[in-house]
Structure 1
C-alpha cells in the first residue's frame, strides 16, 4: 500500500533531503504535503488526514509533542530528530520508530521494512499516554556544573571544564582531570550518561569524554578511532564501534 505522507520540519533543507530519500520508495510513500512548524503541521494534518507523518521535535510555535497533543486525528508517526541514542530509548519503549539526523539510507530502509511488516499493528499509532511518556523522558536534563568526589575526609567539587574524561575500570569509574589527576566516583557510566551535559559524549561502553578537551582523532584498527585528549597525560582513548554515530555527529566527520 501507499501511505499518504506529510513531512513536518522547521528546516527546509531537511524536508528537501527527506523528499530525495523517499523517492526510492515511491510505491510506499505518497507525499501529499509539508509544514515548517508545529502549527502548520496541526492544520495540514487535520485537513488532509494523512496515513503517516515524518515529524521533527524541536520546532517554533508548537513543538512536535505539543502538536501531537492537540491532534484530533492521529496518523502513524516517524520522528526525525537530532536527539542522541540514549534519549531514543523513549521511542523504542513506545513501539514507534525514529530517524536520527543526518538520516542514513540504511537506517531508512529498516524503518520502511518495519512499517511494511506492522501495517496492521495499531501499536504504531501514538496514544496520548505514549506522547506524554516520551515527552517526559526527553525533557532537558537538570543543569549542573560540577561533580563531587571523595578525597580522604574531604569532598572535592570538580567543575566540568576541569574534567578530561571518565573511564570505567573493573568495578570503578574514574574521573580524570585535565591536570592529570584521577578520582574514584560513585557513578556508573550509564548514570553519568544521564547526568552530564551535552558537551560530554560516550565514545565506548567504558568511556565518556569532554568534547571541549579533545585535541584530535587518529584512525585506528577495524574502523575505530583513538581520541587524543588535551590533558597533561595526552591520553589516547579508543572508540567503540557502536558509539561511532555519537562521535561523528559531534565532530562532523
Structure 2
C-alpha cells in the first residue's frame, strides 16, 4: 500500500484533505499529520512515506523550507491556496499540487499522476530550481538561520542547550539567565542580541530584559498593581510584561 504524510497548520484543512484522499484513493495509507514544516521533516525521516502533502505557508518552517530539507527522500505534493503564479511553476515542474480547499476532480488528476510515478518507481524530482522559483513568485523570502543551540555555563560545566528546551531568557547587568524545565544556566550575551538571533515566532520579547518561549506560556494574569505577568507551564514563576509588549497578549 502507498503511504503518505499530510502537513498543514490548519486542522480543518488536514481533516478535509484526509477525507478527500480516503474517497479518491482508499488504498493510500495516511501515516501521520504535521502542523508545521519542522514536524513534517521529522515525520518524513521517521516514517519514510512514499508521498508527503505539504502546505506551502506554515509556521516554524514553510512548506518550501521543509521540501528543501526533505529533498529526494519522498515525492512531494504542495498544498496551496494560491492558484496563479504557483500553478504556472508547478505545471512546468515534476512536482504536483493540490488547491485549497481540495476538489475531488482536481485531486483525482493529481492522484493519477502520483500513481503513475509510484508504479514506474520514478525517483522524486530535483526541486532546487522549482523551490527558488516558487519562493520568488510567491514572495516567500528565505528566512535567516536562527540559533538552534545555546552554549551556557552550569557551574564548571559547559553545556549545549537546544533552544526548544529553553523556557525563557532574563538578563541582569552582567549575565543572562537561561531557564529550562530542569536547570538554570548563565551566558554573557544580552537579551537585545539574542532577540535578533532567535526565531521571533518561537521567542517573544516581553520586556527589555526578558525573552520567553511562546510554547512555554500557560497564561497571562494581572496583579493588584495592574501589571501583566506571564505564567510559565509547570512553574510558579511569573515574568513581568512591560507596557511596550502588552499588545502581544491582547487576544489571549
Task: With the length of structure 1 as denominator, give the TM-score of the two structures.
Answer: 0.50
Residues 34-53 of structure 1: per-residue CA shift (max 9 Å, x gap)? 10001111111111111101
Q: Would you say the 8 A contact 1:5–1:50 is kept in 2? A: yes
- Equivalent in the alignment of 1:97: 96
Q: Map 1:4-83 onto structure 2 (within 5 A).
A: 4-71=3-70, 74-83=73-82
Q: Distance in 2 between matches of 1:42 and 1:84?
A: 25
Q: Distance in 2 between matches of 1:131 and 1:46?
A: 20
Q: Distance in 1 between matches of 2:124 and 2:77?
A: 9
1:107 aligns with 2:106: yes
**Change beyond 3 A, Cα 1:139–1:123:** farther
1:102 shift after superposition: 1.4
1:138 aligns with 2:158: no
Runs of 4+ in 1 over 3 A off after TM superposition: 25-28, 121-124
Q: Would you say the 8 A contact 2:73–2:124 is kept in 1? A: no
Q: Distance in 1 between matches of 2:73 and 2:40?
A: 12
1:112 shift after superposition: 1.1
Q: Would you say the 8 A contact 1:42–1:71 is kept in 2? A: yes
Q: Would you say the 8 A contact 1:99–1:107 is kept in 2? A: yes
- Equivalent in the alignment of 2:122: 122
- Equivalent in the alignment of 1:242: none
Residues 125-161 of structure 1: per-residue CA shift (max 9 Å, x gap)? 24333322332332269xxxxxxxxxxxxxxxxxxxx
Q: Would you say the 8 A contact 2:37–2:65 is kept in 1? A: yes
Out of 6-15 and 38-47, give the one that drifted further: 38-47
- Equivalent in the alignment of 1:168: none
Q: Distance in 2 between matches of 1:87 and 1:117?
A: 23
Residues 77-112 of structure 1: per-residue CA shift (max 9 Å, x gap)? 111111123331011111221111111111111111
Aligned-residue Cα RMSD (Å) equals 2.2
Structure 2 stretches lacking a partner, 5+ long: 142-252
Q: Distance in 1 between matches of 2:97 and 2:28?
A: 16
The aligned length equals 140
Q: Would you say the 8 A contact 1:49–1:75 is kept in 2? A: yes
Q: Distance in 1 between matches of 2:124 and 2:110?
A: 12
1:121 shift after superposition: 6.3
Q: Would you say the 8 A contact 1:69–1:128 is kept in 2? A: yes
Task: With the length of structure 2 as denominator, give the TM-score of the two structures.
Answer: 0.51
Q: Would you say the 8 A contact 2:72–2:124 is kept in 1? A: no
Q: Distance in 2 between matches of 1:118 and 1:71?
A: 18
**Change beyond 3 A, Cα 1:27–1:103:** closer
Q: Would you say the 8 A contact 2:96–2:110 is kept in 1? A: yes
Q: Would you say the 8 A contact 2:85–2:138 is kept in 1? A: no
Q: Would you say the 8 A contact 2:50–2:75 is kept in 1? A: yes
Q: Map 1:203-214 onto structure 2 (within 5 A).
A: none
**Change beyond 3 A, Cα 1:92–1:46:** same
1:25 shift after superposition: 4.0
Structure 1 stretches lacking a partner, 5+ long: 142-253
